[in-house]
């Protein structure tokens, strides 16, 4: 299955993703394609809508202390629901759909989510630190929300200016 990143300001990123009801071979094919694609594009988190599949599925593969991403750390999270949240933390986030732009975003420091795995089994996960940040960032994608939507007005203006200039650069270099 050939995947391609949908990039801001593509309207498709603003769709609300649909709940996954059937945990079939087609779903597994998509998940099996999303993981290597994310690794190849240097991502640590990817929501299905970013590869034009507006379903409530996301993958996360955090790097270890050496910055290595190991397949055993791969998380496949489907139909996630936050059941508890606490604390506050700020991190400079990036997103494969908003290339070359990084900005501080405030998130909850600890969250507990209920979700389903690729077979549809219900699971619970307590997350803190970078994992909690990644889950919140990817769950925003399921609502059509991008990390740049959390920026202050001034920062968002700065982003829009920079992004337009960068897009022009990329068109010229293509
Ligand atoms: C040039 C460019 O676009 O750089 C990138 C930007 C973002 C990313 C990946 C971002 C990513 O995986 N975000 C997942 C959500 C997340 C954000 C912050 C903390 C946890 C989880 C990859 C990039 O590609 C390269 C080559 O570095
Ligand atoms: Co993202």
Residue to probe by mutation, ligand 1, list 44, 50, 90, 94, most atoms within 8 Å of CB: 94
What are the structural domains of the chain? 11-173 (3.90.45.10)
Which residues, including other chains, have CB under 8 Å from residue 25's CB and lie 6 or more apart? none
pLDDT score at 172:
83
Q: What's this model's pTM, rounded to 2 decimal places?
A: 0.96
Q: Say what the ipTM of the complex is.
A: 0.94
pLDDT score at 10:
98
Please determine, for residue 174, whether its predicted confidence score (pLDDT) is greater than 90.
Answer: no
Distance 96 CA to ligand 1 centre (A): 5
Kindly report the three-state secondary structure assignment for every residue of 67-122.
CCECHHHCEEEEEEEEEEEECCEEEEEEECCEEEEEEEEEECCEEEEEEECCCCCE
pLDDT, one tens digit per residue, over 113-126 is 999 999 999 999 99
């Amino acid at each position: 299955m050939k995947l391609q990143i949908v990039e801001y300001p593509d309207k498709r990123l603003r769709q609300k993703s649909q709940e996954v009801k059937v945990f079939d071979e087609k779903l597994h094919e998509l998940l099996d394609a999303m993981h290597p694609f994310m690794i190849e594009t240097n991502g640590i988190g990817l929501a299905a809508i970013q590869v034009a599949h507006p379903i409530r599925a996301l993958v996360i593969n955090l790097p270890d202390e050496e910055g290595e991403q190991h397949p055993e750390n791969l998380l496949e999270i489907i139909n996630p629901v936050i059941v508890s949240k606490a604390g506050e933390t700020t991190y400079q986030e990036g997103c494969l759909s908003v290339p070359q732009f990084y900005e501080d975003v405030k998130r909850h420091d600890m969250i507990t989510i209920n979700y389903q795995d690729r077979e549809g089994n219900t699971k619970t996960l307590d997350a803190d630190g970078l994992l909690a940040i990644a889950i919140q960032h990817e769950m925003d994608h399921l609502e059509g929300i991008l990390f740049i939507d959390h920026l202050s007005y001034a920062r968002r203006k700065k982003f829009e200016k920079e992004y337009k200039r960068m897009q022009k650069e990329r068109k010229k270099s293509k």
